[in-house]
Amino acid sequence: MNGPELNAAAEPEIILRAEHLYKNYDIGRKDRQVHAVSDVSLSIYKGETLALVGESGCGKSTLGRTLIHMLPASSGSVFYHDMDIAAMSEKEFRPYRRKMQMIFQDPYASLDPRMTVRDIIAEPLETYRICESREETTKRVLMLMDAVGIPGEFLNRYPHQFSGGQRQRIGIARAIALRPELIICDEPVSALDVSVQSQVLNLLKDIQQAFELTYLFIGHDLSVINFVADRVCVMFLGCICEVAKKDALYKKPLHPYSEFLLDAIPIADPHRRNRKRKVITGEIPSPVDLPKGCCFCTRCPYATDKCRNERPELKDMGDGRQVACHYPLT
């Protein structure tokens, strides 16, 4: 495990903590809103990789952006080293911005095509006036390029001259330029060829160790998550279903939705491919009109009247595991 051991003997340091966080979007009428993030409470520990998983549209990216103040929270708190950054104005938050960065999903859209590699990586350094001269900035850029495996002779090339994997490496170099503590990795390999994904994932692991980084890794490919994560947070319809150490979750999920997600992982063994898989049925609730009770109750085969009428709280199940379910699986 790359991240800290989560046990009672050595309580890990919390870098970021969200409490009852909500993010809603107006859709034209004051009484109608899209509930993208609903009552999320979680902690991210120093040095770990916390993976955020769930179906497309479940609010993973919105949560990631809200946690680092790229989107304003509708309500709730986000504490960065005990400072409530969700309550800060943009001006108040600016000194903290350099400590929290993001690697974006699409390496083709996240880099300005009119800027050279040098200028892309140098932009945050120049914005925060890290270096005293242009020459010093260029030297720092070359060091960052070397750290992510981009040859120095490509310094003055433009993004269109690079492959997708190389562009993502440039994005990683830009993200680490200010030596942040926390990086949100928003599906950083989903747009890349499978042959390139492992190279970028290995780079992220190497960079994490070299620069003492903490990751919130957003993804939906559970094979990738199994490779990178220390802990996993499962989301459905803007709500947290389960939080657990990776090995514990993959061995025995306690929330029905986690069970369905893990059962959907492709199996390479041809003798096991035809085994009967559990399939989610039922209607997906609208994010504009969330269920009164559990957000997963309309699709859960174990749902009861209590599930449909009472929203379950995120309960501590021991050993760092939390589950939002009235009847956790056994």
Q: Are strands 14-26 and 33-45 parallel, antiparallel or unpaired?
A: antiparallel
- State the greatest distance between any 2 C-alpha atoms of the chain, in Å, as a whole number: 67
Q: Are strands 239-245 and 321-323 parallel, antiparallel or unpaired?
A: antiparallel
Q: Quick one: CA torsion of 232, 7, 327, 234, rounded to 10 degrees?
A: -10
- How many alpha carbons fall within 13 Å on the CB side of residue 245? 14
- More confident: 238 or 281: 238
Range among 9-18, 19-28, 199-208, 256-265 rated most confident:
199-208
Q: What is the pLDDT of residue 7?
A: 47
Predicted TM-score (pTM) of the model is 0.93
Alpha-carbon distance values, 82 to 21, 33, 77, 181, 317 (Å):
15, 30, 10, 15, 25
Q: Is the pLDDT of residue 30 over 80?
A: no
Asked whether 36 and 287 are in contact (CB, 8 A), the reply is: yes
Kindly state the DSSP code that residue 160 receives in the 8-state scheme: G
Q: What is the pLDDT of residue 271?
A: 65
Q: What is the pLDDT of residue 330?
A: 81
Is 143 strand, coil or helix? helix
Q: Average pLDDT in the 30-54 region? A: 94
pLDDT band for 269, please (50, 70, 90 cuts): low
Q: Are strands 214-219 and 49-53 parallel, antiparallel or unpaired?
A: parallel
pLDDT band for 29, please (50, 70, 90 cuts): confident
The predicted-structure confidence for 99-150, as pLDDT tens digits, reads as follows 999 999 999 999 999 999 999 999 999 999 999 999 999 999 999 999 999 9
Q: Which long-range contacts (CB under 8 A, 24 or more apart) does 57-62 make?
A: 57/287, 58/235, 58/236, 58/237, 58/238, 59/23, 59/235, 59/237, 59/238, 60/218, 60/220, 60/235, 61/105, 61/186, 61/187, 61/218, 62/23, 62/36, 62/37, 62/238
Q: How far apart are CA 21 and CA 42, in angstroms?
A: 9
The predicted-structure confidence for 199-253, as pLDDT tens digits, reads as follows 999 999 999 999 999 999 999 899 999 999 999 999 999 999 999 999 999 999 9
* Residue found by looking up tokens 């009109």 in the block: 289
Q: Are strands 83-84 and 75-80 parallel, antiparallel or unpaired?
A: antiparallel
Question: What are 80's two structure tokens?
Answer: 């960065």
Question: What are 31's two structure tokens?
Answer: 């009484």
* Residue found by looking up tokens 């750290």 in the block: 147
The predicted-structure confidence for 51-86, as pLDDT tens digits, reads as follows 999 999 999 999 999 999 999 999 999 999 989 999
Q: How far apart are CA 208 and CA 203, in angstroms?
A: 8
163 φ/ψ angles, rounded to the nearest 5 degrees: -75, 170
Extended strands (E) in the chain: 14-26, 33-45, 49-53, 75-80, 83-84, 100-103, 182-186, 214-219, 231-236, 239-245, 315-318, 321-323
10 Cα distance to chain centroid? 25
Cα dihedral across residues 212, 59, 326, 223: positive or negative: negative
